[in-house]
Structure formats: structure tokens, C-alpha cells
Chains A and B, each alone.
Chain A
Amino acid sequence: EAQVTQNPRYLITVTGKKLTVTCSQNMNHEYMSWYRQDPGLGLRQIYYSMNVEVTDKGDVPEGYKVSRKEKRNFPLILESPSPNQTSLYFCASTLREGTDTQYFGPGTRLTVL
């Protein structure tokens, strides 16, 4: 089954404690993204990657890091989380051909105290 998985699904942490949210896809897609979703603001792209070792900033990259060492994995790293990073995070994987379909993971709800 084609899917995007994220872990953890829920996380409560404290300010300044480094954390990583993992993302993995099994569709051999080259393009992967991270989004955050906040009420009234829709989905905002944090970082994206067009291929292994190729990453670029989206609309709201401040406070986040990513890496793309393998095609299937695209972890999101918060080196020093702050309360304003409390949000719902989605990883997505995109078939950049034809209908440009983007497949989303189930989401990670992060609370930073």
C-alpha cells in the first residue's frame, strides 16, 4: 500500500529540548515536503526536497532543519523548540509528473510548553 508515515503522532515537549519528527514514504517519490497547519492560516510549507541531498526553504523555515540522506526518509528537526512551534505538522510526498499528486502523512501534533 502506498503511504507516508510519520512518527510520533503526538508529542508534548518543553522549550529548548531538541526533537526529530520522522517521515518515510514507500512510493519512490523524489519530492518531499514538510508543512505546518495552524488555525486560520492553512498549510504553510516549511522545507522541501527535490531529491536526495537537495533541500530548500519553503515559506516558514525559521527554527527548523531537515535532511534527505535517503530517498524514502525526510526527517524534520527542531533544534531548540519554542512555544510558537506548537502546531500540527504534515509530511508529504509528491509524484512530480502528470497530476502532481501529493500524498500526506497522518500528521504530528506537537505541543511545546
Chain B
Amino acid sequence: GQSLEQPSEVTAVEGAIVQINCTYQTSGFYGLSWYQQHDGGAPTFLSYNALDGLEETGRFSSFLSRSDSYGYLLLQELQMKDSASYFCAVRWVSGGGADGLTFGKGTHLIIQP
């Protein structure tokens, strides 16, 4: 089976930097994604890591260490609009051809002025 762990809630200050961690236990690991979801909305894609290292997209960066089964999402220059839930998700591929996506339970990010 697949399982992911991420903190349920993180609080940070506007303008600061915050890191949201994600650890996973997966067989057939293929890649790690991050999604943002505002209250009442649909999840939107932020980033994807298939290889070790850091991927940067504007104020958001994502890191993956396959050997540690660990990744994180880094948000810089926090803005009030970044208040949302953030989900990590593992893509896994089995030898039998199954190709699924398992999400973590989400981290609620609260931004304080």
C-alpha cells in the first residue's frame, strides 16, 4: 500500500518563508506532486518531482529525496492569498501495470499578517 505523512496545520507570517514536509512509504514510487486547494475550490497543480533535487517555480519550490522517501514544498514571500490547504501526492506504478496516485491528508497553511 501507499501512505503519506504531512503536518495537518502550519502557521506563518506574511512575507516569511514556510516549508511543508511530506514523507511517504510507497512501492513502485514514480514521482511526487504538490497541489494547492483553497476553501470551496478544486485542487490546482503546483509542482512535480521525479528526480532528486529542487524544482523552482516562482515563489514556490519543491524538493525530493528518493533515498529518504521525503519531499517538501517551500513557499517564499508569503502572501495572504497563499492561505490554503496543500497536498503532496505520490504517483506509483506497479509491475502489473497499475498506475495510481495517492494523496496525503493535506496541510492547512494559515498566514498571519
CB distance from B35 to the nearest CB of A (A): 8
Which segment, of B11-19, B40-48, B64-72, B76-84, faces chain A? B40-48
Q: Of the candidates B42, B50, B87, which one forms a contact with A42 in the assembled complex, judged by CB atoms under 8 Å apart? A: B87
**A68 at interface, CB cutoff 8 A:** no
Task: Check B98 against A107 for contact (C-beta < 8 Å).
Answer: no
Task: Check A48 against B100 for contact (C-beta < 8 Å).
Answer: yes
CB distance from A7 to the nearest CB of B (A): 14
Task: Check B91 against A42 for contact (C-beta < 8 Å).
Answer: no
**A44 at interface, CB cutoff 8 A:** yes
Bound: A103/B43 CA distance, A: 8
The chain B residues found within 8 Å of chain A, CB to CB, are 2, 31, 33, 35, 42-45, 47-48, 50, 87, 89, 91, 98-106
